[in-house]
Amino acid sequence: MTAFADRFWTSRDGLKLHFRDYAGRSDRPPVLCLPGLTRNARDFSDLAARLAGDWRVLCVDLRGRGESAYARDAASYNPMQYADDLAALFEQEGLERAVFVGTSLGGLITMITAMMAPQRMAGVLLNDVGPEIDPAGLERIRTYVGQGRSFATWMHAARALEEAQGDVFPDYDLPKWLAMAKRCMAVGGNGRIHFDYDMKIAEPIVDAPLDQPAVDMWPAIAALKDVPTLLLRGERSDVLAPSVHQRMAGLLDRGEAVTVPGVGHAPMLEEPEAMAAIDRLLARVQ
């Protein structure tokens, strides 16, 4: 495993938040990895191992995930709060710019940051997310987030993931399902294996009315017009529609749209097509 330092910062409302810090060149902006709704910093371990040394890589646990503290108020589990938490990390680390790698929710946080502080964007990867989310994907997410299941063994956990997400990663074998289980789950105090997040992160999502008007996120894409940007989409995605993917690309002067074959929401960034596209993005940042 590539070496990293476990480090922490404090949110403005007093939560102790965690990130992995992989050392790299100081003459380049760091690569900042932001995970999806129920995921954590471990999702980016393969990407960080590949980039570390050439790039400093910071992999964040959002509040309520992984080694970050759980929020006292479940209402704070929202993208605007996550973006504010990120701003506090920038202040602590003295960061001016970063290459944002945002998967799903991490991409929404990236887009919010692009609208609020576009000067921070040295480069951007939006992984299977855009200004419009397909209702089918949102409804699917609502069906599983916050379900506090636990498992007796890692094998049971891996089989449960395969049953739930086999259509997202149809080519995965058992070792890959085991690896995914160990990224998104942890052993609890009772010895059982559980998902590594606060179940209350689901409350703002499940409680929100389906007919609530969506916030217009297209200005975020306009803010990225001149920023080196990679738009990844899983070929089987039910979250990012092909038409939205292409419309986003059409608005970006320095953008590239890539579809990762054979996977759904969201690519793990270890696929050959994703890795090659990330290399092209970072070459443009340099």
Question: Above 90 in pLDDT, residue 98?
Answer: yes
**Dist CA 110 CA 99 (whole Å):** 10
Asked if residue 144 belongs to a domain, the reply is: no
Q: Which domain holds residue 17?
A: 5-139+215-285
- The whole-number pLDDT of residue 210 equals 47
Question: Above 60 in pLDDT, residue 212?
Answer: no
CATH of the domain at 128: 3.40.50.1820
Asked if residue 17 belongs to a domain, the reply is: yes
Beta-sheet pairing, 16-22 with 98-103: unpaired
Asked if residue 275 belongs to a domain, the reply is: yes
Asked if residue 187 belongs to a domain, the reply is: no
Asked if residue 19 belongs to a domain, the reply is: yes
> Phi-psi bin for 14: left (phi > 0), alpha (psi -120 to 50), beta?
left
Question: Above 60 in pLDDT, residue 74?
Answer: yes
Q: Which of 70-84, 113-127, 201-215 has the lowest mean pLDDT?
A: 201-215
Asked if residue 205 belongs to a domain, the reply is: no
Asked if residue 177 belongs to a domain, the reply is: no
Question: Domain count of the chain?
Answer: 1
CB hemisphere CA count around 141 (13 angstroms):
24
- The whole-number pLDDT of residue 211 equals 46
Asked if residue 129 belongs to a domain, the reply is: yes
pTM attached to this predicted model: 0.96
Q: How confident is the model at residue 209 (pLDDT cuts 50, 70, 90)?
A: low
- The whole-number pLDDT of residue 286 equals 76
